[in-house]
Structure 1
Amino acid sequence: MAKESALSQEEKQSLKLNNFIFHIIIAKNDTPEYLDAVQLDASQETFFRDRILDTCEGTQYSFKDKENSNFVENCKNIVSGDEEGFIKESRKIASDFCKQHKGTMSDGVFIISKISIVSSGKTIPLVALLKVDHSKVYQYKQKKDEKGHIEAIITEIKNSFVEHKSAVQKWAIIDSSEHFLWDILARERSSSSEVADYFEKFLEASPRETPSKLTQKSVSTVFQWARNLDKDLIPEGATPPDYRHRAIQYMHTHDDFETESFVKAVVADQDKTRRAKARKLLEEELVKVGISGQTFETKPGSVPFSKNKGTIKTAENVTIQWPGKGDAQESGILVEELGKNDFVVTIKTTNVTYPD
């Protein structure tokens, strides 16, 4: 069964670079300057591996027409081919990238790498693409004059890029093996959600799920997870609707979803040990449902208003409900478990009315 999640931490740690090349992008030129090989020492390979690991989070995309896509065919040939075939297909992909981004791209390099990860006990081949901008880098030399004064002479190093992920403008991971439910994980530096239209057109893909759907899915996943959470990991007086409320609040206060900050916002607990355990469990649940590792624009309006209410129902069929302006305790409701099948619900209020 195909996996819905992005790459897990274990899968990321298993990532290997099998083939690597980049071609030079000059904005004013119609075609790239093609290279035949790139020599990397150990530290440089680590740098590029780290940059590729940065690409393992993004929006999930599906190919629009997988059977007839030239881009898909290029990726399949890279995965199944030898070194010579890899270079040949990398040139085709770089050329198409230039054509699709003419007038919108800056000088830099376009990296194509055949990588592999271990997932579910199998080695899965993937293709990684990165567009890295050229950066202005200076070097200086010291010059001593006749009086012994030392002067620095600064010169610019041409065609350079720095070892920092901020230099990566666009990135994508492509799975042509159908091991994952998604075909592509993609992201751009200028946006933490969906990629620009021309990059999407180059990839011949569209988002697998809408931001509204992902927002709803994130909130509902938190609630279902909280309902099944071990009581020893829930702070005294807290209820599952409290976790859902914090998930909804996150969507209102953040323009874009990011897994780590979402988990921190949802699991609030003064007990550090209990908090760490609960956060780890929520992260694992988000991986299972395919939310973890995705980035998308939050759509709080897509969550029905009724979902922002806290509700408790007792064995005696008594329902207690409060608005989603805070957790249960902030609304004056305290739930205590005294023992097996023995609960006490306390409501503290300044007034009681009896509506029609």
Structure 2
Amino acid sequence: MPTPIESVLSQSQRDSLEILDFIFHIIELDAGKEEKVEFLDEVSLQPKQKKFFLARLQDILEGTQYVFKPDAVHLKEKCQQLVAERHNLNVISRQIATDFADRHRNQMAEGVFVVAVVRFLASANEWKKLILLVKMDKSASFSYSRKVEGGRKIAVMTDNPNALSETKSSIQKSAVIDADSYFAWDVLAYDRKTKPRLTDYFKGFLGVTERQQDAELTRATHFAVKKWARGLDKDAIPPGEDAAGYIGRAQNYLKDHDTFETDEFINAVVKDEDPARKQAMSGQLREALAAAGVAGQQFTPRPGSLRPAECKQHYLTSEGVTITFEGDKEAVGLKTETLPDGRERITIETRKLTLKN
């Protein structure tokens, strides 16, 4: 059996995503404030709506990685059935939606619960399937029509209480389930209310536990950036930049942020005034993080999980001078530049210089 893939989907795999089966059921509140589900038999998606849900799937692929608990088989079995018994989409999706609604002890916002089967091209002529689950909140909206009476233009407003917003904020909870055991993770999940964590009832509904702990992800991020930065071609990076700059900014991000967000992290690490070069390097770093199983994950950085020696960076001159520092070199007053004759100039600004024995 092939070794499960550590990362989330690559860009080419994302571009190949297709919706195979799609339905949603309506979550409403009755007069007694009890949750209930109104089941639908079919949902007809127009091209614009397909594009919207595929875009939301792209967003969900940035969720935290989870694995199914060994004793929690309900949802896992249902997802396997969705793939094996596509003709039973209505029956199985109703069971999943009902279980989701029943687990919510407090009042739930009205909306829809989406169940979809999608596929992506894992490699040449090899398609793999994913299950997409999304709880979308309903948001009332207004539409208008125009008419002319007595030479006057009049707008007539109409209330649409069952509108679904085409914005990311309408996604309350979401999960992507690996139906083919292609990846090392079973579930990618996102919870708008408690990100990067999941509410207890949503976690119970999924039957999952975190695949990796925060400390492990912090270390994986640190070493992925180190490996990537030290392998860069010096001629391909901005003047005055080097591996130490990228590594240091990565360390500072992990120290200064409560939540790791992939795009935000990459933007903090890759500093470049050349847009094309920045885009290329950002893409390279994203691939390095994906290979390490970090890209797309949301977690709380634990910089204390890194040993002091692992955070230290060292410059050694040909004259035998060693410079040791931690974090962003500019933040500690250190600058380097290459002179026209190929020599290196190092500048250090400090409030005080102390001679150590």
Scaled by the length of structure 2, what TM-score is found? Answer: 0.87
Map 1:121-270 → 2, pairs under 5 A: 121=124, 122-142=126-146, 149-270=152-273
Aligned to 2:291: 288
The range that moved more, 249-258 or 282-291, is: 249-258
Please tell me the residue identity of whatever aligns with 1:15. L
Deviation at 1:93, TM superposition (A): 0.5
Q: What is the aligned residue count?
A: 350
Deviation at 1:47, TM superposition (A): 2.5
Question: Does residue 127 of structure 2 align to residue 117 of structure 1?
Answer: no
The range that moved more, 264-273 or 85-94, is: 264-273
In 2: Cα distance, 1:150 partner to 1:345 partner: 73
Aligned to 1:311: 314
In 2: Cα distance, 1:46 partner to 1:263 partner: 26
In 2: Cα distance, 1:332 partner to 1:36 partner: 65
- 2:336 and 2:344 in contact (8 A); partners too: no
In 2: Cα distance, 1:244 partner to 1:226 partner: 7
Question: Does residue 63 of structure 2 align to residue 63 of structure 1?
Answer: no
Aligned-pair identity in percent equals 36
Aligned to 1:355: 356
Question: Does residue 51 of structure 2 align to residue 51 of structure 1?
Answer: no
Deviations along 1:1-37, whole A, 9 cap, x unmatched?
Answer: 1111111211111111111111110143444111111
Aligned to 1:6: 8
Deviation at 1:237, TM superposition (A): 4.1
Question: Does residue 311 of structure 2 align to residue 326 of structure 1?
Answer: no
Question: Does residue 40 of structure 2 align to residue 38 of structure 1?
Answer: no
Deviation at 1:344, TM superposition (A): 5.3
Report the CA distance shift for 1:335/1:304 in structure 2 as closer, same or farther (over 3 A).
Answer: farther
Deviations along 1:328-355, whole A, 9 cap, x unmatched?
Answer: 993255577978xxx7574657886542
Unaligned 5+ runs, structure 1? none
Partner of 1:256, secondary structure, is coil
Deviation at 1:290, TM superposition (A): 1.1
In 1: Cα distance, 2:153 partner to 2:345 partner: 78
- 2:245 and 2:328 in contact (8 A); partners too: no
Give the alignment's Cα RMSD to 1 decimal: 2.8
Deviation at 1:316, TM superposition (A): 8.4
From 84, 89, 92, the equivalent of 2:92 is 89
- 1:247 and 1:262 in contact (8 A); partners too: yes
Unaligned 5+ runs, structure 2? none
